[in-house]
Each structure stands twice: as structure tokens, then as C-alpha cells.
């Protein structure tokens, strides 16, 4: 075979006949770039509308810098009075920690059951699968602070409402994460047990859970870390904990006490984060 021109190839077949092939230059298909251009244009327009609707303004931030300076001047130094601020803040932070703990652990049974039913590999029926997915989506879609407002009206102010709110929201989030982890396991052990006559519950208990237990525990620790932070916000709507003290300090213009409570929260969150990270590293090792 030899090349006659850049766009032509000439070849000789086995019977001696010659075959000439003309290569057409590639044509530019500029129309293929339209989806990308349309997407970029839509993003630009969406950001312009978002800036307008949210009244985002760097000028307003600069103009309000004086108020921020006055706020910081009133907050510094933090109020370290032991009896009136520091000790009540430590006690309230403990309540916040317990809200996050119970909101995580008490959601394990419902999350586990719904995760098994919401996984394609372990769900007993398509209707059960869709129903479980819908329940998880509902619990996940409603923010925990909305659940807290609902339960505050039902059971009154206090940490109990915060625990109930976290149980509901965490069931939706953790159930979804666990269901996806179950769907990613190796189907080999489950198929082997099914071949020897094991029922669905035996397959889940002896093949599914052992494969996914480490991943599920890691996700559980991650959710505990998140729930401790969420329980702080729930206190702002009356669900108890140190968030309630922060809210009271802001309303009474005691910004130095507010800063003390925020520093206590910072220490608590760092401690929880270090604890969760250490456990997850041990699991991964």
C-alpha cells in the first residue's frame, strides 16, 4: 500500500487489482458545542437571578463592617464567669452532645430495616422497595429544624423534641446511605447461600450484613458527628442544649457570654470530630 496524496490511499489486492480510497477531511461539527454553550448561558443567567433575589451585595457588606466591629468589640473578651456563664454552658453542651448521641443511635433500627427494604439486592418486593424509598426521601427532605418545630409543639420545649427531630431526619439520611452501601456489595456470597436453600433473612444476616458492617459503622460515626452539630441548631428553636443559651445571649445582647458558649461548642465539636476520625481510621486499617 502506498500513499498518493494526503487524502488518498492506494492499495493492491491479492488478485492484482488496485483499490484507491479517498479520505475526506473531517468536517467541523460546531453544532455539538451548542449544549455546552447553552448550559453555560443558563448557569450565568441563574447566577444573575440568584444575586438579584438574594440581594447579594459586597457594598452592603462593606457598609455593614462598622456594625460587625461594634459586635466584636462587645463580644471580646469572652465572659468567663464560672457560675453564671461557663459552668451552665458546659452543662448545656453536654445536653447537646446527648441529643446528638440519642438522635443517632435510636434511629439505627428504623434506618437498618428501611435500608434493607430500600436496597434492590435485599428488598422482598418492588412495592416494598418503592415504599421504603419514599419514606426515606420524606424523612430526608424535611429538615431536622422543621421536625424540631413540630415536636416542640407536640411535647413542649426541651431536649426531648430535639432527640425526636434527629431520629426522624437521621433515619432518612442514614437509611439512604446504608441502602446504597448494601447495593454495592459483592453478590457472590448471597448467591451461594441462595443456592443451598437459605431464605432472605438468612442471606441478609449471614452474607449482606457481614460485608457491609464496617461501612455502615463508618457512616454511623459520620452521622453522629453531623448530628452533634445539628443539635446545636435545634437548640435555637427551643430544643434545649447550648444552642438555647446562645439564642438567649443574643436576645439579651450579652455577646460576651455568647462568645463563651461558641468557644465551648468549638471545643466539643473538635473533640467529637477527633473521636470519630480515630474510630474510622481504626476501621479502615
| pLDDT (0 to 100) of residue 106 | 92
Is residue 35 in a domain? no
Q: How far is it, in rounded angstroms, from Cα 148 to Cα 157?
A: 10
| pLDDT (0 to 100) of residue 20 | 62
CATH number at residue 101: 1.10.3720.10
Distance of CA 46 to the CA centre of its chain: 24
Predicted TM-score (pTM) of the model is 0.73
Residue-range definition of the domain harbouring residue 94: 82-284
Is residue 113 in a domain? yes
| pLDDT (0 to 100) of residue 33 | 73
Q: 166-183, pLDDT tens digit by residue?
A: 999 999 999 998 888 887
Is residue 58 in a domain? no
Domain count, the chain: 1
For residue 189, give the H/E element and its range: helix 188-195
Is residue 272 in a domain? yes
φ/ψ region of 156 (left if φ > 0, alpha if ψ in -120 to 50, else beta) reads left
Cβ–Cβ < 8 Å for 71, 255 = yes
Residue among 25, 23, 21 at smallest CA distance from 11: 21
Is residue 270 in a domain? yes
For the chain, residues with pLDDT lower than 70 are 1-32, 197, 283-285
Amino acid at each position: 500500500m502506498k500513499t498518493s496524496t494526503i487524502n488518498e490511499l492506494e492499495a493492491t489486492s491479492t488478485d492484482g487489482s488496485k483499490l484507491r480510497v479517498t479520505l475526506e477531511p473531517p468536517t467541523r461539527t460546531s453544532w455539538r458545542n451548542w449544549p455546552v454553550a447553552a448550559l453555560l448561558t443558563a448557569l450565568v443567567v441563574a447566577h444573575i437571578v440568584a444575586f438579584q433575589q438574594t440581594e447579594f451585595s459586597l457594598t452592603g457588606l462593606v457598609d455593614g463592617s462598622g456594625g460587625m466591629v461594634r459586635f466584636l468589640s462587645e463580644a471580646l473578651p469572652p465572659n468567663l464567669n464560672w457560675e453564671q456563664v461557663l459552668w451552665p454552658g458546659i452543662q448545656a453542651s453536654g445536653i447537646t452532645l446527648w441529643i446528638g448521641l440519642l438522635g443517632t443511635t435510636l434511629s439505627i433500627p428504623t434506618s437498618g430495616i428501611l435500608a434493607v427494604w430500600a436496597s434492590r439486592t435485599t428488598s422482598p418486593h418492588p412495592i416494598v422497595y418503592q415504599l421504603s424509598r419514599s419514606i426515606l426521601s420524606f424523612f430526608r427532605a424535611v429538615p431536622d429544624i422543621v421536625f424540631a418545630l413540630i415536636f416542640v409543639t407536640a411535647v413542649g420545649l426541651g431536649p426531648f423534641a430535639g432527640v425526636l427531630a434527629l431520629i426522624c431526619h437521621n433515619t432518612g439520611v442514614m437509611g439512604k446511605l446504608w441502602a446504597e452501601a448494601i447495593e454495592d456489595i459483592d453478590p457472590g456470597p448471597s448467591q451461594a447461600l441462595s443456592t443451598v436453600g437459605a431464605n432472605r433473612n438468612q442471606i441478609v444476616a449471614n452474607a449482606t450484613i457481614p460485608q457491609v458492617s464496617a461501612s455502615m459503622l463508618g457512616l454511623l460515626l459520620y452521622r453522629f458527628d453531623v448530628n452533634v452539630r445539628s443539635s446545636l441548631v435545634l437548640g435555637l428553636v427551643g430544643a434545649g442544649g447550648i444552642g438555647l443559651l446562645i439564642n438567649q445571649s443574643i436576645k439579651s445582647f450579652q455577646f460576651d457570654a455568647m462568645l463563651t458558649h461558641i468557644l465551648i461548642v468549638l471545643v466539643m465539636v473538635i473533640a467529637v470530630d477527633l473521636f470519630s476520625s480515630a474510630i474510622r481510621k481504626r476501621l479502615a486499617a
